Amino acid sequence: MAIELQQSRLAFSIVSSAARVRVCAPLGKCAGLGNLSRRNFSQAAEALEINEVEARPEVQVKDGKIISPRKFLLGKSEKQLQDLCEEMGEKRFRGKQMYLLLYKVRKAEIQEFTNLSKGFREKLISEGWEVGRSPIHHKVNSVDGTIKVLLKLKDSRLIETVGIPADEENNRLTVCVSSQVGCPLRCAFCATGKGGFTRSLKPHEIIEQVLVMEEIFKQRVSNVVFMGMGEPMLNMASVLAAHRCLNEDIGIGQRMITISTVGVPNSIRKLAAHKLQSTLAVSLHAPNQRLREQIVPSAKSYPLDALMEDCKEYFSITGRRVSFEYTLLAGVNDSKELAFELGELLHHWDMSHHVNLIPYNPVADSLFQRPWQKSVQTFVETLAKCRVNASVRQTRGLDANAACGQLRNQFQKTPLEDESLVKSI
């Protein structure tokens, strides 16, 4: 056991150090997890998840002294809350009351739990319990109705979440949530990776992103997409815990939840084993291994054939079609020839699928360009000739820095540059 733990710590140190190397060019050799071999990549990814699952509780510090462990109610099921009340010497029905206050009334502070006795509220607080809500650090409203916010976490780190309302005829509200503070995978065109990687989010830090958008828009969230900052498959334990809460406690249907990934070895099969009815969205971005490695550095450790084989297995187990995300970069992956190649790839693997084409959302200091509308249309028409079901995602929030990581990078330095932030123990 000691040897296994030592190996896990070593692998995690590889992730931590590699994640802090900055990308020097949009194409070519990129730093981060993408430079690890497939075996080391898998070990590092597993160690990253182990570290988050088995992490010591956060602590509250006052005047340089540790007061108590920091624990969070948000994300706990009704049964877990009832068990907690019983452990603290209270009746189990108090757990039901807490459950309603958390998920129906949406109270953000324990002091607001006025259905509970003052003594019980004070006991919860003295033992380090909090609801687990974070303040809004900054909010940007787009002319198209999209709203992007930065939440300031307990350790002063910033995460992004985006609320995307449908048109007036459709009452849907989609929330794009982050799963990590930054991202260690550093895809060439993504602003999140440029801001560095700090840590994975805990379940309550994912869930609160949905709640804050419901409060801002004053309506129920209908859809959740794990497409914000970070790689969800590198934080699977927290993502699955948040998924359970969003579905069972907040009432968002599994089919209304999408979990995205750029591809982490072994993770898609692990997700499939849970037999969720949620959509798997795979960030493909290229129809061949050589080009994909240039755009997605981690593809070096996860060959395209292996990725597609795992996607087909996901479809076979869950019966859910796989969504392939394809960001169109002008002059890089938007040619007619590559569209034909993409069609051939998808037909070869013979699974139910849909292609989401995403015209690149420009970020500062990037050499990539948004494709011309004519190029996008040609790409769509070529896929149609290949009998591939594809659609172009409507661009939202261009004036609100809605691409992943853009807004955060304006307000927070990278981990190497910012030494003043409070660190969790």
What pLDDT digit, counting tens, does each position of 323-375 carry? Answer: 999 999 999 999 999 999 999 999 999 999 999 999 998 877 778 999 999 99
Structure tokens at 45: 């990814």
- Per the CB < 8 A criterion, the answer to whether 330 and 358 are in contact is no
Q: Is the pLDDT of residue 76 over 60?
A: yes
Mean pLDDT, to the nearest integer, of 241-250? 98
Q: Which residues are catalytic?
A: 160, 404
Q: Where do we find the tokens 């979990």? A: 259
Task: Select from 267, 168, 254 the least CA-distant residue to 219.
Answer: 168
**Spatial contact of 208 and 138, defined as CB atoms under 8 Å apart:** no
Least confident piece of the model among 162-176, 183-197, 312-326, 362-376: 183-197
Q: What token pair was written down for 282?
A: 């795979």
Contacts of 389 (CB under 8 A, 6+ apart): 353, 354, 355
Model pLDDT, residue 277? 97
DSSP-derived letter for residue 366 is: -
Distance CA 380, CA 157 (A): 40
Residue 319 has pLDDT above 50, yes or no: yes
Write out the two tokens for 224: 């959740």
Give residue 149's pLDDT.
96
Is the pLDDT reported for residue 134 higher than 80? yes
Position 48 scores a pLDDT of 53
- Comparing C-alpha atoms, which of 267, 196, 200 is closest to residue 41? 267
The more confidently predicted of residues 176 and 69 is 176
pLDDT score at 9: 38
User: For residue 150, what pLDDT is reported?
Assistant: 96
- As a whole number, mean pLDDT of residues 240-255 equals 98
Is residue 67 within 8 Å of residue 60, measured between CB atoms?
Answer: yes
Q: Pseudo-torsion of CA 103, 107, 112, 118, nearest 10°?
A: 20
Q: Which residue has the higher pLDDT, 42 or 1?
A: 42
Which residue carries 């109610």 as its tokens? 73
For the domain 75-130, what is the CATH code?
1.10.150.530
Angle at 262 between CA 259 and CA 266, to 5 degrees: 85
| E-assigned strand segments in 265-387 | 279-283, 322-328, 353-359
Q: Which residues pair with 147 in a beta bridge?
A: 141, 163
**C-alpha span between 98 and 105 (Å, rounded):** 10
| Mean pLDDT score across all residues of the chain | 84
CB 281 within 8 A of CB 233: no
Domain 41-53+134-411's class? alpha beta
Which residue type sits at 208? E
Q: Where are the beta strands (DSSP E) in 131-256?
A: 136-141, 147-152, 158-165, 173-176, 180-182, 197-200, 223-226
**Helix (H) or strand (E) run with residue 15 in it:** helix 2-18
User: With 50 as the cut, is the pLDDT of residue 423 above it?
Assistant: no
Q: What percent of the chain has pLDDT over 70?
A: 76
Number of other residues whose CB lies within 10 A of the CB of residue 133: 20
Q: Are 241 and 200 in contact (CB under 8 A)?
A: no
Q: Is the pLDDT of residue 53 over 60?
A: no
Give the closest residue to 271 by CA, choosing from 33, 55, 49.
49
Q: Which of 47-56, 267-276, 339-348 has the lowest mean pLDDT?
A: 47-56
- 412: exposed, middle or buried (C-beta count within 10 Å: 0-12, 13-18, 19+)? buried
Nearest of 360, 383, 386 to residue 373 by alpha carbon: 360
The segment(s) of the chain belonging to CATH 3.20.20.70 are 41-53+134-411
Q: Which of 41-45, 299-303, 307-311, 389-393 has the lowest mean pLDDT?
A: 41-45
Asked if 388 and 358 count as a contact pair (C-beta separation under 8 A), the reply is no
Distance CA 384, CA 52 (A): 43
Mean pLDDT for the stretch of residues 292-303: 95
Say yes or no to pLDDT of 212 above 80.
Answer: yes
Residue range(s) of every CATH 1.10.150.530 domain in the chain: 75-130
Residues facing residue 159 across a β-bridge: 151
| Among 81-90, 160-169, 261-270, the least confident range | 160-169
Give residue 231's pLDDT: 97
pLDDT at 312 over 80: yes
